[in-house]
Structure 1
């Protein structure tokens, strides 16, 4: 499983790198704060919304602690997507929120 830490993701964003981040948390969790610019697709809807994603792009998956994003990683990878899991999830995130 390809992984980045929250610090690595924060560093990449601060450098101006464009990342396609998918937050797989539930609506109430995202309302409490999310990484600026993320795509919100709750894990339970990922199967039904994966047609919105482009297999030629890389996606970084985020959840609360890393478990759900790990499951999303396995699911999307099995369907031919290039994905990365953010270890520690939003619990480890110290960067900006919106």
Structure 2
């Protein structure tokens, strides 16, 4: 499984290609601007939302759920990368986040 650190990911122009697999209430509290929330609990039902024609970066709180989803997608032929450390690692690296509920987070 390929993985990337939050610091390296933040230097790339991939905001729309970050899939956050945390649950809606988690994402409502803190998220990366431009990331797409597809909760792990609904992932199989929403897999068609994951682009097949580009690299996607999968993020969760610390990296466990995203590693499972990354493995799942990789086995199905997606170009996918796990984000080591998740949103907690992102924040610890001092990278920008959004806080509070948004219409996107309420999906």
**Stretches (4+) displaced over 4 A:** none
Gaps of 5+ in 1: none
Match of 1:63 in 2: 60
Deviation string 1:26-77 (CA, Å, 9 cap, x unpaired) is: 1111011100000100011111111122211110000000000000001111
Match of 1:18 in 2: 14
Q: Distance in 2 between matches of 1:86 and 1:57?
A: 16
* Residue 82 (structure 1) aligned with residue 83 (structure 2): no
Q: CA RMSD in A?
A: 1.1
> Per the alignment, in what secondary structure is the counterpart of residue 92 of structure 1?
helix
Q: How many residues align?
A: 94
Please report the TM-score for the alignment, with normalisation by the length of structure 2: 0.82
Q: Distance in 2 between matches of 1:72 and 1:18?
A: 18
Gaps of 5+ in 2: 99-107
Please report the TM-score for the alignment, with normalisation by the length of structure 1: 0.89
> Per the alignment, in what secondary structure is the counterpart of residue 64 of structure 1?
coil
> Per the alignment, in what secondary structure is the counterpart of residue 61 of structure 1?
strand
